[in-house]
Amino acid sequence: MKKAFLTLFTITIALFTTTNVFAQANPYAGTWEHQNGNQKFILSIWVDSNNIMLGHYKMITVDRNGQQTETVYNSKKEVGNSGIDWPYTVYFGDMSNGYSQSFGGPIIDNTVNNQRGFIEEQFIFTPNSPLGSTAQWEVKKMQGVREPNEPDFNIPNNILLTKVSNSIDLN
């Protein structure tokens, strides 16, 4: 019994250590924020089991004390009426070869009202220094064919994000 406990304890410590090393190895995973007045844009970034860096975002309103009073929109929501949530809406790409100075990729704005229920744009995430706690965030329309009367994206553009946590909360 004592041997089984020690084995289980050792495995648990090894897994915990591996997880912490992995989290430290990815300086961008976590929660990033930008506040403008009483509105706060939150970008949550994680790396999946295939070493793909992904994200979700939301906009909330906060009171004077910084406490959330309302969710304006959240990209972590149901895809249409499918009963399945969007697995991610920001795609940074494969991190197997390390981290670049700047990341860019597709971002899905599923907070707009249009026939498809989303529009796809392009984002650029540029950390202000390697392993820095701030990054420039830009969103641009993708080139190509568009829907007639396609709305503009809701996602803030050309803002400075600050990393506030190494963990994420998608609720």
Least confident of 17-21, 79-83, 144-148, 153-157: 17-21
Asked whether the CA dihedral 144, 120, 32, 18 is positive or negative, the reply is negative
pLDDT of res. 53: 94
Question: How would residue 25 be classed by pLDDT, with cut points 50, 70 and 90?
Answer: low
The amino acid at residue 25 is: A
Tokens (6 digits) for 125: 């995430």
Question: How would residue 116 be classed by pLDDT, with cut points 50, 70 and 90?
Answer: confident
Domain annotation for the chain: domains and CATH numbers: 29-165 (2.40.128)
Bridge-based pairing state of the strands 39-47 and 52-62? antiparallel
Q: How far is residue 115's CA from residue 161's CA, in Å, rounded to a whole number? A: 31
Query: Tokens 């430290």 appear where?
Result: 24
Higher-confidence position of 24 and 76 = 76
pTM: 0.81
How confident is the model over 93-110, as a mean pLDDT?
85
Q: What SS3 state is found at 104?
A: strand
pLDDT of res. 101: 74
Contact 32, 135 (CB under 8 A): yes
How confident is the model over 86-113, as a mean pLDDT?
88
Angle at 33 between CA 36 and CA 123, to 5 degrees: 95
How confident is the model over 139-167, as a mean pLDDT?
86
pLDDT of res. 131: 67
Least confident of 26-30, 67-71, 98-102: 98-102
Q: How far is residue 109's CA from residue 9's CA, in Å, rounded to a whole number? A: 44
Contact 31, 44 (CB under 8 A): yes
pLDDT of res. 141: 85
